[in-house]
Amino acid sequence: MGEEKRDSGPLSITYMADMPYDYHAGFYYSRFLKELKDNKRIYGVKCPRCGKVYVPPRIVCRDCFVTMEEFVEVGNEGTLLAFTVTNFPYTDTTRGEPKKIPYTAAYIKLDGSDSNIVHCLDETDEKKIKAGMRVRAVFSDTRTGDYFHDIDHFEIIQ
């Protein structure tokens, strides 16, 4: 009867868990990555109803809602739709390392595609970049099946 209970609050343990994982890309994206890695070719998938081509490939057309099964090669050149030049330091989320700055992110519509991709542009001087410019993919010498690194960057075509 003479015991007092002391409530010091909940206990906690701080622990940093290392959780490596593999992500299954699926058939459509795997084919896209394999063509980049093995052949330096960019593939999309074509809608049988409206004819739109999506890069990267997706299973269902966003407009028609039908399954797409026809893989088609698109060009490694395209049109710059929009861009932004980043001048502040941050961590590259794909590698966990500091990103080299300045850095230009670009929205690109590849020839033969009806969608756009996001990648990096090798030009960082905003005065030399304009929407509507033509750009070309520059493939990495060593490709591993990783979209963002198998295409090293895009360059402006003069």
Contacts 24+ apart (CB under 8 A), 90-95: 94/146, 94/148, 94/149
With beta carbons less than 8 A apart as the criterion, state whether 54 and 94 touch. no
- Beta carbons of 115 and 72 less than 8 angstroms apart: no
| Mean per-residue pLDDT of the chain | 90
At 129, phi and psi to the nearest 5?
-115, 135
Position 84 pLDDT exceeds 70:
yes
pLDDT tens-place string over residues 108-120? 999 999 999 999 9
Helix, strand or coil, per DSSP, at residue 128: helix
Higher-scoring residue by pLDDT: 39, 21: 39
Confidence of residue 20 (pLDDT cuts 50, 70, 90): confident
The confidence score (pLDDT) of residue 89 equals 86
When pLDDT is cut at 50, 70 and 90, the band that residue 1 belongs to is low
The band of 92, judged by pLDDT with boundaries at 50, 70 and 90, is: confident
Residue 57's pLDDT band (cuts 50, 70, 90): very high
Tell me the domain boundaries of the chain.
26-156
